[in-house]
Amino acid sequence: MHHQAARRGSGSVPAGTIGRALAAGGGYGSGFDILRLSLAILVMAFHTGATVGSKLWTTSLAPLTDSLVPMFFGLSGFLVAGSALRLPPGRFLVNRALRIGPALAVVTLVTAFVIGPIFSTYDPVTYFAQPAVWQYCANSVGIFRSQLPGVFTQNGQPGIVNAALWTIPYEIACYCLMAVLIASGLLRRPGVLLAAIVALAVTPALLDGLGLLSLFEQAWLFRLFFTGRGAILFSCFLGGCLLYVWRDDVPLDGRLFAAALAGAGLLYLLGPDRRTLMGPALSGMCLAYIAVSIGLADLGGRIGQYKADYSYGLYLYHCPILNAVHYLVPKIESVTVLFLLALGPTILAAVLSWHGIESPILRARKRFGLMARRNLIVLEPARLEKSGA
């Protein structure tokens, strides 16, 4: 019943729902661009604190800090679910690879072959002779490697060149999970998505109650989905998918938004052991709803989904630039000063990434898709005529 509701026309979408707000915005919320940009800037602010050794973002602001990346994943699940419902799994994965891969490869290579030798304590010959340089290149395909030889070893996160890239493997895993949902047809069955989120929540608590949690936590795959650092990212992503598929039935309501805020806050206050108390999965649903609600709010106009989306470039480049600025001016202890000094170069890098890499590839992808559809339209009658159909 619910998946049928998801296919209803906008005229029959109930008022006050996510679907109605989405339809009113022409299939996209004006707040999504602003929210993504804001989240990227806040992540940069967090890493600024880490670079100078400030504890502010991990103490007083920890609830906000822990919510930033999960909200990114909630947005991602919601926004890509629309294309996932229209595309076969192979094409979906190709589209996602073209969106994140080229810019990721460029920032990886620029960091390893330009920033690295400039800031390394090794001379260039010795630097390039180190296996870690070539291992770092695995970041370009989503395998996280944090260090380059002798680079940024004196900063607040010694030797970690681009800490932000730790989320990329999880993003790729979420897209692969989405491809499985497409291929199996489960994406059109929101009850299954809800069951998956419930399973993410209940399984650790159930095993903990049975005294078996420590045994299962020895398996990396279990830690990945249930109790590890990134477990909440899967529930946020699935939560965003579920909100899109159920968009015509889920209310967009300030009271529900407040309840989601309160729920996420309460789960955080349960402390570090909340992971065994259904915390990551339940927090993920709350944060996904918060992110989607903000994205669908009228925040004064759309920056443009494909006009200028600098958030990805900001996310990719801010850590190496922060580290470089702190290396050049090592006496900086103020989070604000370092942030302001690094913000301009980071925005410039994001602008160059968007206009030089991301946007041209998106336009080429769009043109290729249009050409492919035209060819199918032309070739299909000829094929039918040849087969005698």
Angle between helices 279-295 and 31-52 (to 10 degrees): 130
Flag whether 308 is in a domain. Answer: no
Q: Does 260 have pLDDT greater than 50?
A: yes
Flag whether 266 is in a domain. Answer: yes
Q: What is the pTM of this model?
A: 0.86
Q: Does 29 have pLDDT greater than 90?
A: no
Flag whether 28 is in a domain. Answer: yes
Flag whether 29 is in a domain. Answer: yes
Q: Are 104 and 142 in contact (CB under 8 A)?
A: yes
Return the DSSP state at 328: H
The dihedral through the CA atoms of 246, 43, 340, 121 has a sign that is: negative
What confidence score (pLDDT) does residue 301 get?
52
Q: Which of 140-144, 195-199, 222-226 has the highest mean pLDDT?
A: 140-144
Q: Return the higher-pLDDT residue of 377 and 138.
A: 138
In the chain, the number of structural domains is 1
Residue 275's pLDDT band, with cuts at 50, 70 and 90, is: very low
- Supply angle C-alpha 16, 20, 26, rounded to 5: 145
Residue 104's pLDDT band, with cuts at 50, 70 and 90, is: very high
Question: What is the arithmetic mean of pLDDT over 175-203?
Answer: 88
Q: Does 196 have pLDDT greater than 90?
A: no
What confidence score (pLDDT) does residue 300 get?
60
Compute the distance between CA of residue 207 and CA of residue 285 in angstroms, rounded to an integer: 21
Rounded to the nearest 10°, the torsion over CA 234, 99, 147, 317 is -110
Residue 25's pLDDT band, with cuts at 50, 70 and 90, is: confident
Q: Return the higher-pLDDT residue of 63 and 41.
A: 41
Flag whether 36 is in a domain. Answer: yes
288-328 pLDDT, tens digit each: 999 999 999 876 655 444 467 899 999 999 999 999 999 99
Q: Are 157 and 50 in contact (CB under 8 A)?
A: yes
What confidence score (pLDDT) does residue 148 get?
95
137-175 pLDDT, tens digit each: 999 999 999 999 999 988 888 889 999 999 999 999 999
Residue 251: strand pairing partners:
17
Structure tokens at 207: 């095993």
333-342 pLDDT, tens digit each: 899 999 999 9
Residue 369's pLDDT band, with cuts at 50, 70 and 90, is: low
143 exposed, middle or buried (CB, 10 Å; 0-12, 13-18, 19+)?
A: middle
- Percentage helix, strand, coil for the chain under 3-state DSSP, each rounded to 5: 75, 0, 25
What confidence score (pLDDT) does residue 387 get?
42
Compute how many other C-beta atoms are within 10 angstroms of the C-beta atom of residue 99.
Answer: 18
Flag whether 237 is in a domain. Answer: yes
Amino acid (one-letter) located at 128: F
- Supply angle C-alpha 229, 33, 299, rounded to 5: 115
Flag whether 372 is in a domain. Answer: no
Flag whether 194 is in a domain. Answer: yes
Question: What is the arithmetic mean of pLDDT over 89-116?
Answer: 96
**Which residue in 297, 244, 235 sits closest to 80, CA to CA?**
244
What confidence score (pLDDT) does residue 374 get?
54
Structure tokens at 213: 């949690």
Q: Which domain holds residue 176?
A: 2-10+18-300
Name residues whose C-beta falls within 8 Å of residue 35's C-beta, 6 or more positions apart in sequence: 71, 75, 291, 294, 295, 299
41-45, 66-70, 219-223: the lowest-pLDDT one: 219-223
